[in-house]
Amino acid sequence: MSQWLFDLGNSRLKCAPLDAAGELGEVRALGHDESAFVERLRECLPDRADSACLASVASPALTAAVLDALVSRFRRISIARTQRRFAGVRIAYAEPAKLGVDRFLALLAARARGAGPWLVAGVGTALTVDLLDADGNHRGGRIAPSPRLMREALQRAAAQLPAQGGDYVEFAADTADALASGCDGAAVALVERSLRLAREELGAAPRLLLHGGGGEALRAWLPQAEPAPSLVLQGLAIWARAGRDRSDPPSTRSP
3-82+234-253 and 115-229 agree in CATH topology: yes
For residue 247, the model assigns a pLDDT of 47
For residue 98, the model assigns a pLDDT of 96
- Residues 25-71 have pLDDT tens digits of 999 999 887 678 988 999 989 999 899 999 999 999 999 999 999 99
Angle (nearest 5°) at CA 242 between 236 and 246? 145
For residue 237, the model assigns a pLDDT of 95
For residue 250, the model assigns a pLDDT of 47
For residue 7, the model assigns a pLDDT of 97
DSSP symbol at 219:
G
Angle between helices 60-71 and 37-44 (to 10 degrees): 40
For residue 19, the model assigns a pLDDT of 83
Verdict on whether the full-model pTM lies above 0.85 = yes
For residue 248, the model assigns a pLDDT of 45
Catalytic residues, which ones? 102
Multiple choice CATH, 3-82+234-253, 3.65.10.10, 3.40.50.300, 3.30.420.40, 1.10.3720.10:
3.30.420.40
CATH code of 115-229, in short, is 3.30.420.40
For 46, residues 6+ apart whose C-beta sits below 8 A from its C-beta are 2, 4, 17, 73
For residue 173, the model assigns a pLDDT of 96
How far is residue 51's CA from residue 71's CA, in Å, rounded to a whole number? 10
Mean pLDDT, the chain cut into blocks of 10 residues (255 residues total): 90 90 88 83 90 95 94 95 96 97 98 93 96 97 97 96 94 96 97 98 97 93 95 96 60 47
Task: Quickly count: other Cβ atoms within 10 Å of residue 162's Cβ.
Answer: 14
For residue 115, the model assigns a pLDDT of 80
For residue 255, the model assigns a pLDDT of 44
β-sheet with 28-31: strand ranges across: 28-31, 12-18, 3-8, 49-56, 74-79, 252-253
Torsion of CA 145, 41, 59, 88, to 10 degrees: -70
For residue 127, the model assigns a pLDDT of 97
Domain residue spans in the chain?
3-82+234-253, 115-229
Q: What residues does 55 pair with on adjacent strands?
A: 7
